[in-house]
Amino acid sequence: MTEEGTGALPVEGVPAERVLAEIRTLRAADRPTHGGRLFAYVYDPGVAGLDELARAAYAESAHVNGLDPTAFPSLLAMENALVGAAARLLGGGPGTSAPDVVGSVTGGGTESLILAVKAARDDRPDLAEPRLVVPASGHAAFAKAAHYLRVALDTVPVEPVTLRPAVADMAAAIRPETVLVACSAPAYAHGVVDPVTEIAAVAAAAGVRCHVDACFGGWTLPWLRRLGEPVPAFDFAVDGVTSISVDLHKYAYAPKGVSVLLHRDAALRAPQYFGYADWPGYTMVNPVIASTRSGGPIAAAYATLRHLGEAGYLRLAALTRAAVSGLADAVRAVDGLRLLAEPASTVVCFTSDDPGLDLFVLVDELTARGWHTQSQLGYAGLPASVHLTVTAAVAPRVAEFGPALADAAAAARAAGPVALPPELRALAASLAPEALTPELIAGLAAGLGLGAGSAPDRMAAVHTLLDAAPVRLRERLLVEFVGLLQRPTW
């Protein structure tokens, strides 16, 4: 134990203001969560006063426990209101073709997807090996759900030009043991919307549930449609869609973590619950994975939606649409860069066709200039790419991004591509994951600048090594590398 410094448990308590000052000092090393220069992980509307409102609402309910809605009816009321708002936005509710939609508030998109898979699996207890069909572009959380729930995962390749799965391939992947077919609106990596209507039809024809992962786009595609964008059908207006997930901590601009999982009716939702009475304590009934849940995020989401309203979200969607257009033009203006897909939602995704313009070096150069993007590794014939999640706060920054991108591209060309030693590249291409030893991992990490609790300022070498490795080796390397970062402070 320590008396001073950054230890979490000093001998004597530290004054409140000093503790807050320490946190602010630690936060200074983080990526900027506001200001329109971070294109991943956080969602900033750039609305004055919204953070203060959300923090105040969070504080009002931070100590409320979602474990028992009969003890805390305020939380139940806010959850039901959030579910109702999401259902109405996504084609459900009174007067629609899905009038009996029900739902639950979860802690995030991954939890929503896990629960969608759980509900489908538990609805078929007769199956010894339930299966899940999902496009290869589906979020990695589907694979996590399959792993956690012991559901076999059948991935369907996406076509290299459209970046969408062929409907015939999705249909062919459905087996008698398939409990759920999933698709995305849009898929996170490239921002394209899968052919939901056709996929839902083949799932319905096979008597299988169809989940639409709209965690990323479910709170922005409806507003873009109202603005006149040609958004394809993807919600409960589509026959055969049985459940939808939408994250409120993305384009509803609520603090993390709040997501909503919707089912077309209560019978579809029922297997999602966990109930247990075979012990001497309280009877446990959970609609979601967590038992104890803070009411803070739910109250903050409720306050955010109430404050912005439909008019506010429509205005923010218009700003985001303009920002997407401007960023796409900036990419088109740089020789050697190419959009992987014409933007159809709130994502700009591009690659390099110039061997002298290394995307991973470009990302580092953008970071050095204050622009924080997301690298995506090559996969199954698809090239490595750079992902930009675009929010309303980006709109005032668009004019700055074009010159910064051009300057970063010139610097990346001057620096040249990352050159892995031939023996390291050969090792990455041939090494089996189980052959990784602690000594080999330590050597690789040291060569890449990864140490206990710290990562290098520039990540191009790390990404280049991962890009050269087969998928299973990538996974093992990432696990080991992140494990090096997450070490206790004594």
Q: How confident is the model over 283-316, as pLDDT tens digits?
A: 999 999 999 999 999 999 999 999 999 999 999 9
Distance CA 344, CA 434 (A): 41
Specify if 490 maps to a domain: no
Query: What's the pLDDT at 428?
Result: 83
- pLDDT per residue as tens digits for the range 73-82: 999 999 999 9
Residue pair 65/294 in contact (Cβ under 8 Å)? The answer is: yes
Specify if 55 maps to a domain: no
333 and 467: one domain? no
What's the CATH number where 72 sits? 3.40.640.10
Query: What's the pLDDT at 275?
Result: 95
345 and 364: one domain? yes
| Torsion angle of C-alpha atoms 171, 172, 175, 176, degrees rounded to 10 | 70
Residue 133 clears pLDDT 50, i.e. is over it: yes
Distance CA 220, CA 231 (A): 10
* Structure tokens, 327: 């960023």
Number of domains comprising the chain: 4
87 and 225: one domain? yes
* Structure tokens, 448: 């890449």
| Torsion angle of C-alpha atoms 375, 378, 379, 382, degrees rounded to 10 | 110
pTM: 0.95
pLDDT band at 1 (very low <50, low <70, confident <90, very high): very low
351 and 224: one domain? no
223 and 168: one domain? yes
64-86: average pLDDT: 95
Supply the range of the domain harboring residue 199. Answer: 60-303
Single residue among 382, 397, 415 that ends a domain in this structure: 415
Distance CA 148, CA 40 (A): 26
Distance CA 58, CA 301 (A): 9
Distance CA 304, CA 260 (A): 15
Residue 2 clears pLDDT 70, i.e. is over it: no
Query: What's the pLDDT at 182?
Result: 98
Specify if 104 maps to a domain: yes
Residue 95 clears pLDDT 90, i.e. is over it: yes
CA 45 to chain centroid, in Å, comes to 17
Residue pair 139/250 in contact (Cβ under 8 Å)? The answer is: no
165 and 286: one domain? yes
397 and 461: one domain? no
Query: What's the pLDDT at 5?
Result: 55
357 and 427: one domain? no
330 and 289: one domain? no
pLDDT band at 48 (very low <50, low <70, confident <90, very high): very high
Residue 244 clears pLDDT 90, i.e. is over it: yes
Query: What's the pLDDT at 384?
Result: 97
Kindly report the average pLDDT of the chain as a whole number. Answer: 94
Query: What's the pLDDT at 6?
Result: 58
Specify if 39 maps to a domain: no
25 and 114: one domain? no
Report residue 243: phi and psi, to 5°.
-155, 155
Specify if 35 maps to a domain: no
Query: What's the pLDDT at 489?
Result: 81
Specify if 202 maps to a domain: yes
Specify if 181 maps to a domain: yes
253 and 287: one domain? yes
Specify if 346 maps to a domain: yes
* Coil, helix or strand at residue 330: helix
Q: Which residues partner with 386 through β-bridges?
A: 350, 375
Residue pair 486/478 in contact (Cβ under 8 Å)? The answer is: no
* Structure tokens, 36: 């329109």
Distance CA 42, CA 372 (A): 11
Output 452 or 236, whichever has higher pLDDT.
236
313 and 294: one domain? no
Question: What is the b/e burial string over 287-313, where b = at least 16 CB atoms within 10 angstroms of the residue's CB?
Answer: bbbeeebbbbbbbbbbbbbeebeeebb
Query: What's the pLDDT at 453?
Result: 67
Question: What is the b/e burial string over 85-112, where b = at least 16 CB atoms within 10 angstroms of the residue's CB?
Answer: bbbebbbbbeebebeebbbbbbbbbbbb
Distance CA 267, CA 430 (A): 49
What DSSP character marks residue 224? Answer: H
Output 195 or 447, whichever has higher pLDDT.
195
| The residue type at 246 | V
What DSSP character marks residue 248? Answer: T
